Amino acid sequence: MTVYLRQVAAIVRKDLLLEVRTGERLAAMGALTVLVAVLFHFAIDQGLVRMQVLAAGLIWMTILFGGMLGMGRTFEMEREQGAIQGLLTSPVPLDGIYLAKVVSNFVLVTLIEVVALAAYWLFFGFNYGNDLLLLAGVLGVATLGFVAVTTLFAAISAQTNMGQTLLPILIFPLLVPVVIFGVTATGRIFASRPVQEVEGSLYLLAAFTVVALTAGTILFRYVVEE
Amino acid sequence: MSLARIRWMATVLGVLGVAGVLVLHWLVFFWVGTERTMGIVQRIFYVHVPSAWVTFLAFGITALCGAAYLWLRDERLDWAAQSAAEGGLVFGAIMLTSGPLWAAYAWGTPWTWEPRLTLTLLMWFVFVGYFLVRASAEDRQAGKRMAAVIGVLGALLIPLVHVSVLWFPSLHPQPVVLNVEEGPTLDGDMLITLMIGLLAFTLIFFSVFCLRYGLEHMRYQRAIATREQPRAT
């Protein structure tokens, strides 16, 4: 078990180190996140609608698009350099590779969420409610589910000639539960509603995340095997 | 199973299925009673519910055969999964068109974002993705495996569909046949018509399924024949 964890940690470390050194994905995701917020400013007539009412939905759509942009490239660098062969033939079990990719993607998307929350606060003065700890919990659980699904499908779309064009078609139908319950929960937290009103959504998000992560861990080996 | 046998089965099932559909339409138009509150449009129900049933059945077969294919790697399981998915896509389209036609009158709006509607639409898109991945995979064998993975994941949505219906009281009519507590709440003649609809649609589905399966069988034989030709000459 400790060997397995060390192997996973090694891949996570490699991915994050590459990300720190090149900053490729993070720069693209961060820029997209801020630019989407800018476009929303012009896309919504703020004389008609109060932005705060839409806050949860806007933030979630931004996270989804920004996250998808970066995660579509999860296996890109390995494929371009042929390093995927080395990774697949290494003694790390295939599910370990999947979990490592989930963890490194989770870190990236979490950073994007911080950028998104900051950008929306800066541009629109959004009120994020009183319970920031609960907000972090909801975002964390939902993000893990989002990342678990997207990482698996990034491995699939990387092996097609449609590439990243295919990714949204494959993941959006499956991500609807994340959007429904994520937006409901965060919207209520923003409105400082009592915890009881958030619990139901949080449990459903957790259930989705557990199913997605388990299925991804089991199914990943069939996607990448040679 | 031999090709001749598959063809024979497809023909028998097809003839029975078409006969069943003819009987169903006669019953729907001339025999079954008109529902009191919804009136004549309620008769769409006898097409909508059987197509929904077949869609779920087909997606179940796709997922099971897909999972079994990943495990056993028997080409026949992949043919079955693919054949069922195509049938499911077609009957899903019938379900998704007949539903709004009925709802436009009964609910006053063709579409609502009710959980069961939403998730069946999404399930349908999952299987559109199923065929896109198959078609665009750089490696055919990988395409089959990846499609199977999508099939299995798509079917994991079906329990979520059901849970979402139970947890969110909504516009969609509650189950009237598989109602555990009170037994079927449909009137006798309506229940008979619905059962015949279910039977007829199921027969047609399996007929198309056999035809499609036979086609894959023939492609496979052809692929083997063309591969062996150079060796023979």
Q: What percent of chain A has pLDDT over 70?
A: 100
- Report yes or no: A213 and A145 within 8 Å, Cβ to Cβ: yes
Residue to substitute from A204, A222, A225, interface B, most B β-carbons within 10 A: A222
Per residue, what are the HEC states of chain A? CHHHHHHHHHHHHHHHHHHHHHCHHHHHHHHHHHHHHHHHHHHCCCCCCCHHHHHHHHHHHHHHHHHHHHHCCCCHHHHHCCHHHHHHHCCCCHHHHHHHHHHHHHHHHHHHHHHHHHHHHHHHCCCCCCCHHHHHHHHHHHHHHHHHHHHHHHHHHCCECCHHHHHHHHHHHHHHHHHHHHHHHHHHHHCCCCCHHHHHHHHHHHHHHHHHHHHHHHHHHHHHCC
**What are B's interface residues with A at a Cβ cutoff of 8 A?**
70, 118-119, 122-123, 125-126, 128-129, 132-133, 136-139, 142-143, 145-146, 148-150, 152-153, 156-157, 160
Residue B207, C-beta contacts closer than 8 angstroms, at least 6 positions apart: B10, B11, B13, B14, B17
Q: What local confidence, expressed as pLDDT, does residue B205 receive?
A: 92
d(CA B93, CA B120): 10
Q: Is the CB of B126 less than 8 angstroms away from the CB of A219? A: no
Q: Bridge-partner residues for A160, per DSSP?
A: B137
In this predicted structure, the answer to whether residue A109 has a pLDDT above a threshold of 90 is yes
Domain boundaries defined on chain B: 3-232
The residue in chain B having the minimum alpha-carbon distance to the alpha carbon of residue A213 is B153
Q: What local confidence, expressed as pLDDT, does residue A114 receive?
A: 93
| Position B233 confidence tier, pLDDT thresholds 50, 70, 90 | very low
In this predicted structure, the answer to whether residue B166 has a pLDDT above a threshold of 80 is no
Residue to substitute from B127, B153, B163, interface A, most A β-carbons within 10 A: B153
In this predicted structure, the answer to whether residue B222 has a pLDDT above a threshold of 60 is yes
**Average pLDDT of chain B to the nearest whole number:** 82
Q: What local confidence, expressed as pLDDT, does residue A18 receive?
A: 87
- Report yes or no: B56 and B165 within 8 Å, Cβ to Cβ: no
Q: How far apart are the first and last CA of chain A?
A: 26
- Closest residue to A222, CB basis, from B132, B138, B149: B149
In chain B, residues with a C-beta closer than 8 Å to the C-beta of A160 are 132-133, 136-138, 143, 146
Least confident of A33-42, A76-85, B165-174: B165-174
In chain B, residues with a C-beta closer than 8 Å to the C-beta of A159 are 137-139, 142, 146
Residue type, position B13, single letter: L
Residue-number span of the structural domain to which A12 is assigned: 2-224
Q: What local confidence, expressed as pLDDT, does residue B169 receive?
A: 46
Q: Is the CB of A159 less than 8 angstroms away from the CB of B157? A: no
Residue B103, C-beta contacts closer than 8 angstroms, at least 6 positions apart: B109, B110, B111, B112
- Residue A199: CB atoms within 10 A of its CB come to 12
| Position B175 confidence tier, pLDDT thresholds 50, 70, 90 | low
**Mean pLDDT for the stretch of residues A164-193:** 87
Question: Torsions phi, psi of A76, nearest 5?
Answer: -65, -50
| Position A63 confidence tier, pLDDT thresholds 50, 70, 90 | very high
pLDDT tens-digit profile of A113-160? Answer: 999 999 999 988 888 888 889 999 999 999 999 999 999 999 998 888
**Mean pLDDT for the stretch of residues B160-181:** 56
Q: Is the CB of B152 less than 8 angstroms away from the CB of A223? A: no
d(CA B98, CA B50): 11
Q: Which residue has the higher pLDDT, A169 or B106?
A: A169
In chain B, residues with a C-beta closer than 8 Å to the C-beta of A214 are none
The residue in chain A having the minimum alpha-carbon distance to the alpha carbon of residue B70 is A222
Q: What percent of chain B has pLDDT over 70?
A: 82
Q: Is the CB of A156 less than 8 angstroms away from the CB of B150? A: yes
In this predicted structure, the answer to whether residue B167 has a pLDDT above a threshold of 70 is no
Residue A216, C-beta contacts closer than 8 angstroms, at least 6 positions apart: A98, A102, A148, A149, A151, A152
In chain A, residues with a C-beta closer than 8 Å to the C-beta of B168 are none
- Closest residue to B153, CB basis, from A172, A215, A225: A215
**Mean pLDDT for the stretch of residues B97-109:** 83
pLDDT tens-digit profile of B27-51? Answer: 888 887 777 666 777 788 888 889 9
Residue A78, C-beta contacts closer than 8 angstroms, at least 6 positions apart: A84, A87
Q: Write out the two tokens for B223.
A: 């692929």
d(CA A100, CA B172): 42
Per residue, what are the HEC states of B201-217? HHHHHHHHHHHHHHHHH
Q: Write out the two tokens for A173.
A: 């139908």
ipTM: 0.83
Q: What local confidence, expressed as pLDDT, does residue B197 receive?
A: 87
The residue in chain B having the minimum alpha-carbon distance to the alpha carbon of residue A173 is B122
Least confident of A101-105, B149-153, B162-166, B216-220: B162-166
In this predicted structure, the answer to whether residue A26 has a pLDDT above a threshold of 50 is yes
**Mean pLDDT for the stretch of residues B183-200:** 79
In this predicted structure, the answer to whether residue A81 has a pLDDT above a threshold of 80 is no
CA distance A133 to chain B (A): 27
pLDDT tens-digit profile of B80-95? Answer: 999 999 999 999 999 9
Q: What local confidence, expressed as pLDDT, does residue B84 receive?
A: 92
The residue in chain B having the minimum alpha-carbon distance to the alpha carbon of residue A180 is B115
- Closest residue to A160, CB basis, from B119, B136, B149: B136
The residue in chain A having the minimum alpha-carbon distance to the alpha carbon of residue B154 is A174
Residue to substitute from B133, B140, B170, interface A, most A β-carbons within 10 A: B133
Number of domains in chain A: 1
Instruction: Count CA atoms closer than 13 A to A51's CA, side-chain side.
Output: 20
Give A207-210 contacts, CB < 8 A, sequence gap 24+: A208/A145, A208/A177, A208/A178, A208/A181, A208/B160, A209/A141, A209/A142, A209/A144, A209/A145, A209/A148
Computed on alpha carbons and rounded to an integer, the radius of gyration of chain A in Å comes to 18
